[in-house]
Structures are given as structure tokens and as C-alpha cells.
Structure 1
Amino acid sequence: MLEEALMKNHLMGMFIGLAVGDALGRPIEGNDPRQVQGMEDGGPFSLSLPAGYWTDDTSMALCLSDSLLEQGRYDSYDVMQRYSRWAAQGYRSSTGVCFDIGGQVRRALADFETAPEVGETEPRTERAGNGCIMRLAPVVIAALAVGGDVGWLSRMSGRETHYSELAEHATEIFGEMLERAATAGAQGGRKESIYPSAGTNPELARRLHAAADKSAEELTPSGFVVDTLEAALWAFMTAEDFAAGALKAVNLGGDADTIGAVYGQLAGAYYGLTEIPAEWRGDLHDYEELLRVAEALASLGSLSAPRTRFAEDNPR
């Protein structure tokens, strides 16, 4: 029972860490030269956002969570319909309207409206933005809670909006890292155990293994999925606790909210919910609802077979 409660702390930390990192990075997303020291007001959007408000990263994670919890399985169509509701109606937005939606996500939602099914001959895109990994925690938490296939569900989740081989590989690798981080954290394992295996993309795995050896000046805090993974992993491996790493991650600047969200998932999984600063958690917009969703995901007992809109998928 104690072991189950301990693992739940790390699974919930993965989800709340996402939202915390997103909200920390939001005020300096873009080219803002400031360095944040905690939850702050501001941001690049025309909306006036108070401290603790989160962006598209958390909104999409909530859409994905709602689908998993209400459908009792991963349902491609339902997930995309919820993303579309967020984009069109502000469903699960912290402000009631959609903002900060990425270009690759916007295009994927437009394609879904006209042609929901994706055939085996559908060409892959060369674009590989970080939107595929910024929202990943719900899928990994659900899979770990029920003993499911983290890698396969991660890939399926990523390709919904990022139909690119590199994005798919990156999503699978990040799912593996989140699984290893939660397990290592719960068992008192070393950080180094979270490094990914070569998997389907040995070159990407090698680059991530070398991330901790870089200086901040050698990192590129862009929206490219590999840059984001590298920045988040660097912050995680070179800091002593959740808070220090979170500030290192978001203060790289650039796509600060998503780098923060990706770092937050990884560090939250490793350190656990209770090691995320209570002040930051308490500052989060709608924290009690975020906590409810995190606990519901971590408490799942089963998932039915997935429903996919991709012809190439063979549900297990």
C-alpha cells in the first residue's frame, strides 16, 4: 500500500509539474530578457495574465486527460474533437479563450475537420515541433497506472498533431524517459537511469545523453522538439531539486513555457508531487481541478483497447 501511494505521488507530480513549468515560463515566452524567480504576472499575449495562469501546454493536457477518463481508453477521434473545442471555444483554457496555439497543431486540427481518418499512404511532414511532448503526461500516467504500453500510447498521442517521424520518435523517447523517471524516483534510483535507450532513433538518444555536458549558451531554446528535449534534460540533470531546475529551464528563454512544461513533467515524475514547491502549486490557476485530474489519472484501474484514426495502427 505504501509503495502504491509512493508511485502515485510521482505520477501526480508528472502532471502538476507540467502545469507549474508552463505557468513559470509563460511570462518570459518569446524574446523577453527577464529572468523569473517564481510565478509572475505578464506574458507575450494580448491578454493580461496573472501569476499562475497556464497556456496551451496545460490546456491540451487537460483535453487529453478528460478524454482518457471519460472514454476509458485512448480514442483518437475524441481527443482531436476536444482539441478542436479548445481551439474554437476555449474549452479547458485558463482564460476561457484559446491562445498560444502552435502552427502545427492548428494545421492538424484543420485537416481533422475535413478528413478525420489518416490513410497508410498519407505523407509525413518534415516539421517536428514540441507540441507533441508538451502535453504527454496524461498518456504516460494512464499507461503506468494500468500497466499499459507507454511507448505505443505515446507515439499515438504525438502523431495526432505532429505526423512526423522525428516527432513520433521524440514522443516515444520522452514517454520512456517519463516512465523511467517515475520509477527511479519512487525507488530512490539515480537520475542517470532516466536516459533513453537507442530505440527507434539512436542519433536522438545519443544527443540527449550528451545534453548535460553542454553549457546554457550551447542550448537552443526553440520550439523544435529536439532542442526542447535537450534543454529540459539539461536543466534536470544539472540541478539539485525541482525548483532550481525549473528556473534554469524557463530562464533559457525562447519557448520558455513549453521548455518549462517538458522539464516539469520529467522532474515532477522523478521528485514527486510533494517536492514541487507548495507556493508554486498553490499559485496555479484552478489548482484543485488540476490536482483532481492528476489523481484520477493516477488511480485508473483499466483502459479498454484504443480507437485510432490512423490506418497504420494495429491496436494491441
Structure 2
Amino acid sequence: MFQLKKINMSDRRSFIKKTLLSSTLLLPGGILESCANPVQENSNEKFKPLILSTWNHGMPANDRAWEVLKETGSLIDAVEEGVKVTELDMDNLSVGLQGLPDREGIPTLDASIMKGDGSCGSVAFVRQIKHPISLARKVMDETPHVMLAGEGARQFAIAQGFPLEPEVLSPKADELYQEWKKTSLYKPIINIENHDTIGMIALGADGKLAGSCTTSGLAYKMHGRVGDSPIIGAGLYVDDGVGAATATGLGESIIRICGSFLIVELMRQGRTPQEACEEAVKRLIAKNKGIEDIQAGFIAINKDGEYGAYAVHPGFNFARHHSNGKDLIDSKSKF
């Protein structure tokens, strides 16, 4: 059976450190802040504004989101434009049309977007659309619905002026797909670009919240499979009165516990973001068999600017941007 190579964690941390040592963020007042320590423990620090997103690719996504937030003051614009960077990243095989396809060789995409007032939109099993997050935004802004799927989502995209992209695999995805077809076997492998959704959540200086989530889903999935990312309450949930959460990992495991909604509700009951993420992982482990092969992670922000993150296994990290700088943080995990 063909398998993608697991990431060597010591090599990855070395690469991250070298990368972040050269990265900078222009802060208000003209101060240039460098990021020398990407590995930190979660704390009781509070930040407003604050942007968090999942995985290494969250760093450039956050850069763009922070830039948009400074320019426009719009959180919803920031979380949309931020993850669009990842949707175009040709080196990322888990988000966008360049991502690994389903078992039929077709890339199908899922995305959702949500504001803290309850406004939300999503698309699932959509083809030939470069920016599914922008299509989800159109569902939220232009229709009475929350979710559009499949051919209906594509027809809506055409009506909204979205160009249809050629249905051709990216070179990297095609190479891996051709190798996979030699056995056509499927087994999830943790901490690889197979289910590394980007989820982004943001808190404004005014205490308002927004979030976005976009993915190409599991590699070599059954045609028609939909994961957690476009499901409001599973892959993403935002409530101005409480906080926001988003998820990454094996979508089926996250759907089974309505993971992001669960975290927000736990915060509503008084849990910190960190405590809520840890409880969600505990419940996910209890509801899923074969947990040794399942990776899932959550990030969360409450309305006061506290944050948290937790995963099933080591290897999950998240990007954090705030007024004092930016960094990439290794999440704690259950195992």
C-alpha cells in the first residue's frame, strides 16, 4: 500500500524555527517584531485583536488576514482573504484545487464561514471553484440558505460570476494519485497533508468574532464524501457572546461530537478555551475506534481574548497573530 511519508518532528521543528527566525511583523508605531520562539505553552494571556489558524500554513494565511484587518477593520473579510492564501498554495495538498483528489481522481472541495451574530454559509462537494471560501461567503450573504452542495453549489457559483477552473490535477497531486492507484488502498495517516484543513478564527478589538474553514478533504476518499469543514458546529462555530472554535483532522471523528460547537458551549458554561479543547478531544477519543490512527485538533478563542489548543496526538501546531507579534505554537496533545 502506498503511504505518504510521516513528518519527522525534530526536522520539522528545526525547519519551522529557521523559517520563523527570518519572519517579521510590522506593528503599529513602526516596530518590527521578529519571532524567535515558535514553540510555546498556552497561557492565560489575553489579546485583542487576535487571529489563530491551524498548521504551518496558518502563518502566511494569518499574515494576509492581519493585513486585511488593519486595512479594513472587517473580521469577516480578514478570515476570508486569509485562507484564500492557502487555497492557492501549490505546495499544499490538503486545501484548494491542487489538493489530493478522491478515489475517482477528482478534487472536490468543502468550506464554511461564520460571523459571531450567527450568520454563516458553506459549500460541500464542490468542483472547479478556485476559492470555495468565497463561494461559502456568497451563500451566507446572497441566499436564505446555509449550505449548498455538489452540482447545485457549482451552478450557484456560475450565477455569481465565479469562473470554472479546468478539472486537471496539479502535478504533485497527479504523481501521488498515480502511485496510489497501483494498490487503490486507503488508510488515514496522521500528521500528513491528507487531512490538514486550514481553520481560522479571529477576535476583533471590539470583541466581535469570525471564522473560516476550507479543505480538499481526505485524499482518495469516496466520491461524494463530505468532512467536517463545511458543517457549521463541526468544523467551525462562532458566537459573539462566548467565543469561536475550529477543527482539523479526520472529519468523521469531529462530526461525531459536533466538535467546534461543543467547545463553544463548554466555554459558555465557564470552561477556558484550553479546558474546552481538552474536553472535546477526550470525547472524540471515546467516540471513535482505532484512535491510534486518528489525528484531530482544535483551536479556540473566547470573547475575552484567551486562547487554547489541543490534539489527539503530537504534531499539531497553530499560528497566532496579535498586536505584539506572531508565532507558530506546538499544541499539547492527549497522547
When the two structures are superposed, what TM-score results if normalisation uses the length of structure 2? 0.34
The structure in which a higher percent of residues are helix is 1
Q: Which has the larger strand fraction?
A: 2
